[in-house]
Amino acid sequence: MPTIISGKEVADKIKLEIAEEVSKLKDETGRTPHLAAILVGNDGASKTYVNAKVKACEVVGFRSTLVALEKDVSEVHLLNEIDKLNNDDDLDGYIVQLPLPKHINEQKITEAINPSKDVDGFHPTSLGKMILGLPTFLPATPLGVTEMLKHHNIPTEGKHCVVIGRSHIVGSPMSILMSQNTYPGNCTVTITHSRTQNLKEITLQADILIVALGKPEFVTAEMVKEGATVIDVGIHRIEDSSKKSGFRLVGDVKFDEVAPKCSYISPVPGGVGPMTIVSLLKNTLLAAKNKN
Ligand code: NAD
């Protein structure tokens, strides 16, 4: 049977470490790390994510601020809010919860964030530094995945890592981190996407398969090599009348049939999700330390 990589367990351990560092920082400098989140509109999923981030801040002893804006807020107004946060000396880092409404240019907003406060790691400066292997804020989800591999000492050197998905926030940075000359890394990486042909032939070669394409239970047992490590980034609400909530959460991997073939596998929920949040906290702590 596979080892289940519990993101929740790893995240709880990292939160304890962060909380210790926070109290040390407070003792030494009198400052408490402070994270802000801008939320535009009322989208249920975005609200849930932002609330979880704010709650996680409380757990580790950070201060947090939520800037909630109406869904029809103008781009100029949002840029003004960003400018305020960029110039707020009391603030270590902030995020703008994506996706934004269609009338707002996400790239323009991302580029307006001061890179020294870019704790989501989406600014071109952060991504450029990441590619060069320089210290920077790494995108939270890929950083979380590397922490999961590290926690279980999963060997990566010389392994074939296949990433499904090439988004700017997950697949692309993930492929870069897995190829870097460090641990976890030193993989031979194949990045696949919507135009990839014969996907199954490629995934069957994966020692490590990282799945982030956003399609519920897309990866089936016949696509996975015996003994592989499978990390499922996807998260979807599927209607389920047998549940009190009316839905259940599934990933991009058909867990029940894939798990028996794996040496390690991350579940959904309780896998990559909690790691994404804890990585944001790690980046905020780094921002606070950089300031001192
Ligand atoms: P996205 O829609 O931006 O990108 C999806 C990628 O998958 C694209 O690059 C596309 O080319 C590729 N793709 C689509 N169909 C494909 C196919 N048939 N074969 C191969 N590649 C294909 O998605 P994203 O933002 O990267 O998110 C992916 C999933 O991860 C979503 O379910 C999202 O909700 C989830 N997610 C979870 C977390 C978390 O913290 N757990 C964080 C970010 C994203």
Mutate to test the pocket of ligand 1, among 5, 49, 167, 266 (most ligand atoms within 8 A of CB): 167
Regarding whether 157 and 38 lie in a shared domain, the answer is no
Does 147 share its domain with 259?
Answer: yes
Same domain, 220 and 259: yes
Task: Give yes or no: residues 250 and 189 share one domain.
Answer: yes
118: DSSP letter: B
Pair 71, 191 in one domain: no
Residue whose CA is at the smallest distance from ligand 1 atom 40: 273
Q: Is the four-CA dihedral 228, 240, 142, 179 of positive or negative sign?
A: positive
User: What is the predicted pLDDT for the residue at 292?
Assistant: 73
Confidence (pLDDT) at 213: 98
Count of domains forming the chain: 2
- Considering the domain architecture, whether residues 103 and 165 belong to the same structural domain is answered as no
Can you give the pLDDT at residue 92?
97
* pLDDT attached to residue 291: 84
Residues 215 and 97 in one domain: no
For residue 275, the ligand 1 atom closest to its alpha carbon is 40
Smallest CA separation from ligand 1 atom 31, residue:
214
Claim to verify: residue 62 and residue 161 sit in the same structural domain: no
Residue 150 and residue 88 share a domain: no
Q: Is residue 127 part of a domain?
A: no
Most informative mutation of 43, 191, 192, 194 for ligand 1 (most atoms within 8 A of CB):
194
Residues 179 and 224 occupy one common structural domain: yes
The answer to whether 120 is a known catalytic residue is: yes
Q: Tens digits of per-residue pLDDT, 208-239?
A: 999 999 999 999 999 999 999 999 999 999 99
Residue among 72, 145, 125 nearest 102 (CA): 72
Task: Confirm whether 168 is domain-assigned.
Answer: yes
Contacting residues for 254 by C-beta, under 8 A, at least 6 apart = 217, 218, 219, 220, 221
The span from the CA of 4 to the CA of 226, in Å, is 15
CATH of the domain at 223: 3.40.50.720
Residues 182 and 259 in one domain: yes
153 is written with which tokens? 């000492």
pLDDT tens sequence across 72-119: 999 999 999 999 999 999 999 999 999 999 999 999 999 999 999 999
Where in the sequence is the domain holding 257, given as residue range(s)?
140-273
Q: Is 129 a catalytic residue?
A: no
DSSP state of 253: B
12 is catalytic: no
The answer to whether residue 37 is domain-embedded is: yes
> Is 167 inside a domain boundary?
yes
The answer to whether residue 230 is domain-embedded is: yes
The residue ranges of the chain whose pLDDT is under 50 are none
In a domain, 4, yes or no: no
CATH value at residue 90: 3.40.50.10860
Q: Do 160 and 268 reside in the same domain of the chain?
A: yes
Alpha-carbon distance of 244 to 230, in angstroms, equals: 29
Give the end of a domain, one of 115, 148, 180.
Answer: 115
